[in-house]
Amino acid sequence: MIGEGKEDIRNIVKELKKDGFTIIYITNVIDEIFLADRVILLEKGKIIKEFRTEDILDNVDFLKNHEISIPKAVEIKNRLESKGINIDLEELI
């Protein structure tokens, strides 16, 4: 369960985005990736990958190869699909 303070921040970020504000959100918590429109991954201060959040499924191998955790929603989607259950990632976020 997300802590109350984190949930408040999450809601504020969503509201600001809805109001048209540009937000630069820096985190090392991979599950917060879904707050973003774009993801920029840095390694030793250099950009190693940039992609739109909606393209996360196309970048799973890249994340794994760079020892970056996979968001829980993506893990759940992959597990369900391996059992023949197809679900939209949006339903898990």
Is residue 50 pLDDT above 70, yes or no?
yes
CA 67 to the chain's CA centroid: 15
Cβ atoms of 18 and 35 within 8 Å: the answer is no
**pTM score > 0.85 for this model?**
no
pLDDT digits (tens, 9 = 90+) for 24-45: 988 888 999 999 999 999 999 9
User: What pLDDT score does 10 carry?
Assistant: 87
